[in-house]
Amino acid sequence: MWAEKYRPKTLDGMVDQKEIVERLRSFVKSRNVSHCIFAGPPGTGKTTAALCLARDLYGDAYRGHIMELNASDERGINVVRETVKTFARVRSIGEIPFKIMVLDESDNMTSDAQQALRRTMERYTETCRFILIANYSGKIIEPIQSRCAPFRFTYLPRKDHDQHLRLIAEKENLNLLDDGLDAIFEVCGGDLRRAINTLQAAASLNRPIDAKVIYSIAGRAHPADVRKMIETAMGGNFLEARKQLRDMIQKYGVAGSDIIRQIHTEIFRSTVPEPWKLKLADIAGEIDYRLVEGADEEVQLSALLARLVEAGYELRETR
């Protein structure tokens, strides 16, 4: 996959996040790393930064000094108790006395596991430094946050985004047209991993890559058309909207939290009267909270759809 092939190997090769890269370089220079939280939206280089840091620090044999764990796959407390501890307490051989533990998608860790992690971090600081990677640092418990240096990653600016994609296009001999590049940015919104995946899928068609190609790829890759679902609901067709929701969750495996995040974004992009946007956001917020507490994502989200049906109805009444 090109996203892997063109993943920067060293901090110098990183496309953006200049400030962050600068601070990480100082870690390398001083041969010391503090516990870190890398927070930011997907595809902005968090994992890459962690890997680059390790490589710059330990050299090409960096693999022996770091461990990557993914909280989405192994989110329970037992992982912290066993895997993490076992790795953390053994001293690293070599010039640098500590190892690095990368906990990816750590906002998906259960709070029990986070509590257990907190003590592990403290106890084994000598032998192991932790890099927690998350989309939202808010989902990481306070005591851990206070032990970590925060790094906030932001979406790539347009210039850097374009530069990186053009580089790939050149190396892979692609005919990437300007409007195709525009479309990638619009569809992926600066999420570089997604942008590269989109580019590669577009390249598989063996055609000049223009906006039309990109839109069709994006449509096929993510049938989770939240906007359409909202429109269906607000138009009054609850059953159809619920069916679309069900397809997203069951057929395409979209997570409930992703759907509600997109709904929230779409609310403010929609054409409903301004005061209504806040009302709808309030509804979304309530359901978002219940999603965490509840047991069944579809039930929660379809309660939200029913509220949208109601809102659509009230809107038509008042007009």
Partner 1 sequence: MCAAWTLKHKPKSLRDVVGNKETIRKFVDWVKSWEGGIPKNRAAFLYGPPGIGKTVTVEALANDFHMELVEKNASDYRTEEAIKRFAGLASQYGSLFGGKRIILLDELDGLTGTADKGGVKATIEIVKTAQCPVVLIANNAYNPRFSTLRNYCILIEFKKPPAGEVMKHLKRICLREGIQVEEDALKFIARRSEGDVRSAVNDFQALAQGKKKLTYDDVLWLGYRDRQETIFAVLRMIIYSKTCEGAKRAVRMADVDLDMLFQWIYENVPAHLTDPHDLASAMDALSMADVYRGRIRRTRDWSFMRYIIDFMTAGVAMARVNTKPSGWIPFKFPQRIRMLSRSKAERAMQLSIGYKIKRKCHVSAVRASKDILPYLRIIFKNNADMAAGLAKWLDLDLRMVEYLAGSKKKSKDIIELLS
- Cα 58 to its chain centre, rounded Å, is 27
Amino acid identity, residue 52? C
Q: Are 262 and 226 in contact (CB under 8 A)?
A: yes
Minimum Å distance from CB 30 to partner 1?
Answer: 26
CB of 31 vs partner 1, minimal distance in Å: 24
CB nearer to partner 1: pick between 137 and 198: 198
- The answer to whether residue 177 forms part of the interface with partner 1 (CB under 8 A) is no
Is residue 315 within the footprint of partner 1 (CB under 8 A)? no
CA dist., res. 229 & res. 95, Å (int): 56
- Yes or no: say if 186 and 158 are a contact pair by the CB < 8 Å rule: no
Give whichever of 31 and 136 is closer to partner 1, judged by the CB atom.
136
**Member of 149, 205, 278, 282 binding partner 1 (CB under 8 A):** 205
DSSP state of 45: S
The reply to whether 229 sits near partner 1 by the rule CB under 8 A is no
Single-letter residue type at 188 = C
What the block records as the tokens of 146 is 């206070």
Shortest distance, CB of residue 214 to partner 1, whole angstroms? 12
Decide: is 68 part of the binding site for partner 1 (CB under 8 A): yes
Alpha helices in the chain (DSSP H): 2-5, 18-30, 46-58, 77-79, 85-89, 111-123, 142-147, 158-171, 178-188, 192-203, 211-221, 226-234, 238-246, 256-269, 274-293, 297-318
CB of 3 to partner 1, least distance (A): 7
Nearest approach, Cβ of residue 104 and partner 1 (Å): 7
Shortest Å distance, C-beta 73 to partner 1: 5
Question: Does 197 sit near partner 1 (CB under 8 A)?
Answer: yes
Q: Judged by CB, which is closer to partner 1: 147, or 199?
A: 199
Q: Which of 44, 120, 198, 232 binds partner 1 (CB under 8 A)?
A: 198
Q: Which SS3 state, helix, strand or coil, does residue 194 take?
A: helix
Query: Residue count at the site for partner 1 (CB under 8 A)?
Result: 59
Task: Please list, in sequence order, all residues whose beta carbon lies within 8 angstroms of the beta carbon of residue 88, skipping any fewer than 6 positions away.
Answer: 99, 101, 120, 124, 127, 128
Decide if residue 72 touches partner 1 (CB under 8 A): yes
* CA distance linking residue 280 with residue 259, whole number of Å: 15
Site residues for partner 1 per CB under 8 A: 1, 3-4, 42, 47, 51, 68, 70-73, 104-105, 108, 193-194, 197-198, 200-201, 203-206, 217, 220-222, 236, 238-239, 242, 246, 250-255, 258, 287, 290, 293-296, 298-300, 302-303, 305-307, 309-310, 312-314
